[in-house]
Structure 1
Amino acid sequence: MTSETNKQICRDYFKAFLARDAAWMEKHVATTFVRHDPGLDFEVRGPQGVLQLHDALMPAFPDMKLDLEDLVAEEDKVLVRLVIRATHTGPFGAMAPTGKPIRVAVLDLFKIRDGVLVEHWAQLDNLGMLKQLGALAA
């Protein structure tokens, strides 16, 4: 796969995530896929894990937009710098809806093998998000 192809797979991943496109996930996310994310209290493994992540986030932030700012690819890896923009209108874990907008910076590193996502390292500004939601003092 070329670097441009791998970048497109990552662009498509984010579209499929927002749309909860299970068919895309089954085709492009390995059953052995693992998302390394220190901010989650559950493991994201395989296509079903990605769908579980969608189901955990989207009710809280149904207007979520993922603004892809940069994509850098080398060999089998793609680094994506993006910004999550959303409004907190549903329960988020134990947190009741606040109605507050969030803007969260994210770095996602994906490993791709033969057109399939096999591993993902996610770094989100969770502290900044909690401050925006009023869960922590600014």
Structure 2
Amino acid sequence: MATKTGQESNERIARRYPEEVVTKGDIDLIDELCTVDVLDHSPLGELQGHQELKNQIEMLRGGFSDFSASVDEVIAEGDLVAMRVTLRGTHDGEFMGTEATGKSFEVPNMIFTRVENGQIAERWVVPDMFGMLTQIGVVERPTA
């Protein structure tokens, strides 16, 4: 079990990914923040290693040039950090084969991060993809 100081350090490390890598677009920070064989689980696929994570961020920022991830709440326990994050962006580029719609979105996202020896070793990312795709006009909300 991590000490309180260790948990605070793990929280800082986990927060840097959405705040600096995703929001600021500093994808080279992945080399410092993540283990070489980092594993990322999300609706966009299971990714492993620095380059696959960098490619994903480039793809997201290509589809949403103003893509951001605001950390709303954090809970750290041992080597795990849970974060409630709000994702925002404007669909001004191609995303998952869909041309830009010009529409904006704001959706909740849950991220669980496992930190190992001061680096991110594994992430589980669960954004509201249906909400995002509905807001940008890619899918229609079913009617009752």
What is the TM-score of this pair, normalised by structure 1? 0.91
Q: 1:85 is matched with which residue?
A: 88
Structure 2 residue corresponding to 1:11, chosen from 4, 10, 15: 15
Gaps of 5+ in 1: none
* 1:56, distance to aligned residue in structure 2 (A): 1.1
Residue 88 of structure 2 corresponds to residue 114 of structure 1: no
Q: 1:72 is matched with which residue?
A: 75
Q: How many residues align?
A: 135
Q: How far apart, in 2, do the equivalents of 1:131 and 1:16 lie?
A: 25
Q: 1:21 to 1:94 in 2, by over 3 A?
A: closer
46-55 vs 103-112, which moves further: 46-55
Gaps of 5+ in 2: none
What is the TM-score of this pair, normalised by structure 2? 0.88
Q: How does 1:41-60 map to 2 (within 5 A)?
A: 42-60=45-63
Q: How far apart, in 2, do the equivalents of 1:134 and 1:12 lie?
A: 30
Letter of the 1:21 counterpart: I
Q: How far apart, in 1, do the equivalents of 2:68 and 2:56 lie?
A: 15
Q: Secondary structure at the match of 1:62?
A: coil
Q: 1:27 is matched with which residue?
A: 32
Structure 1 vs Structure 2 CA RMSD: 1.3
Letter of the 1:34 counterpart: L
Q: 1:134 to 1:21 in 2, by over 3 A?
A: closer
